[in-house]
Structure 1
Amino acid sequence: MKRIAVYCGSATPADPVYIESARMVGRTLAARGIGLVYGGGKLGLMGAVADAALAAGGEVIGVIPQALVNAEVAHRSLSELHVVDTMHERKARFTELSDGFLTIPGGTGTMDELWEAMSWAQLGYHAKPVGLLNVAGFYDGLIAFVGKMGDVGFLRPQHQNILLTDDDLDRLLARMADFEPTVPIIRMKRDDL
């Protein structure tokens, strides 16, 4: 993987484990020569992951809507900053620019990005790995919910491994690098649906 889109929050929670984990992700990607594609902001975990990658000599590409540039939250010291009109364009650009997706803690915007990456993988709009770094158990409930979707039957058996989860970044990156895409819905036969 040459570039990974990292989805994360623009907030800075009180517990320092979250900001430190974002910095660790940025440093690790840069050390491995993997470019960072992210939301282009300078605040919270977004700013922390970008600053850490930049400080370690990594490539950092931001993708940010014009409205957030106008709100003065854009990070102006990146390798590249792509300004788009809408959030839809932002997510499409993430997919174009990256070879995989890594979600670390965040809020509703982060969840929107994660769910779309998973949905597009399931449908067959991309065949890239979707990883979730479970920092300090932050995503325990979400991981259980994804399991529940499979148990109930809303997530087909062949799609239950689209979301790769781990609490260790090195293991998660290794799993992402070894990812084998499943049969997407657009290639399935009617009887399989």
Structure 2
Amino acid sequence: MSQLNEQTARVQSGGKLVSTLRATTTIDTRNPKADLTTFMSQRTNVIHGTEYVYDADLSSNGDYVFVQKVADGEIMTGAGQVHLFVNKNKQLTSYTQTYVNHVKTLREKAVTIGEKKALVALYQYNQVASSSRIVWAKLGYSRLLKLKDSSVYVPTWIFAVRGKNSSNVTLHRINAFTGSSMKNGSTASDTSSLDATVGMMWNAID
């Protein structure tokens, strides 16, 4: 944390870094990716900032999300994300950060199920109510097991589902190796898609 400048940062008990910026940075909210990526790339702004990439689907107005890159893909849980907060005056005011450390591959690349097969599994597990809409689908990494001092992550198909007459989006996860349903969560989102056909399982120290 000693590398960070012009901000007040602290680490919460769960390992999340919370920072309030003392220097103002103006963000073009019509195209936030460029300005925010520049901010993230400066080591005096964000620790390991170049190891994250912007995710428009997980972002919403005023809350812009960067996800951590690992091995073959990206972490699609709260364990490896930076949330950058921009006020109504288009000023970047603060951010929160989580980071997955000491990543170790547990197995070599292996073929994963495709998006179509994962979507069928999603319906088989009754994860999609009638009249709901699939907003986007992505292949990323989700935590499978929580061990004493580490966690195991696997490739996962993540589907964003919006219910009828609702603005809320729920994320549903299908294990891309086994096709089984995983624990889900909620977030705001937009529309996008991403295809991939290979994945790795890896272990990370918490």
**Greater fraction strand:** 2
Give the TM-score taking structure 1 as reference length. Answer: 0.23
Larger Rg: 2
Greater percentage in helix: 1
